[in-house]
Structure 1
Amino acid sequence: MTKKIVTVAALLVCLLAVWMYAEKKSATAVCPPAGGTNLVAFLEIGPQPNQIRSFVHNGKVHVAVIGKPSGSPLSPPSGSPAYIFDETGAFLDWCRDIGDNPYFVKKWGGFSNATPISVEQAKQLVKTKGR
């Protein structure tokens, strides 16, 4: 009987370790890259975006780069990661999973006036507006 309890406990500990590893791996997969401090660099070295959107927030143009969801098999994401840049291309904010963070979406105006743009349009936008 004791052997069964120890075996079950060891199995549960192993499953917990696998889950924690998968969570850590998925969390770091969507972190902004170290050199991605501006939009152009981010688009060149960062994760491949699912979509890029321009939107106006507080009277200024911003760019949202929406990434591909990255979750572990044990806890799939409810949304995609999002990275926000201002009109000069400066990195402002990011969120691992916009489906789990309504504050982030609300903070940026809900992206209600967002317009999909291409990578080239995003790069051109910051070249004409900013640095």
Structure 2
Amino acid sequence: MDSSVAASLEYAVSYLAVPSILVCGHSGCAAMHGLLDGATSHGSLGRWLRWGLPSLHALRDGHPVGVAAAEDGRNEIDQLSMVNVACQVEVIGRHSAVRGAVAAGRVQVPACSWTSALPGCCSSTPKPPALCRCPTTICPAAWPPQA
């Protein structure tokens, strides 16, 4: 995790006492398109896109959210976007300040992937991660996943 992201999470949880950290994604994401096109070797943008490589590997390894998104008719860019949301919920949930606040019941880490053509959410719960239909674009799925 980038140190500026880690510091922001620590500040939000420890000093601002935020009740939730919402992880969002969206359809047609140009960053996900860049990852799929292999644009990770070019300059500053490529270095930034490399943060998404674990999500790309997860998609290619059959991540349950990607499988569910494919079965729901989503294109590969949107599948990757949804997997990225699920992966980032896991990454954020492992941050020490977030993990402690979640364990104490002070913070939730909900996930949402907004898709214009097929509204729905990407959720890290229940196990395994699943695609769910929501009447709004916010899906109250919280870290940590339930066993």
TM-score normalised by the chain length of structure 2: 0.26
TM value normalised by structure 1 = 0.28
Of structures 1 and 2, the larger Rg is shown by 1
Higher strand share: 1
* Bigger relative CO (Cα 8 Å, ≥ 6 apart): 2
Structure with the higher helix share, 1 or 2: 2
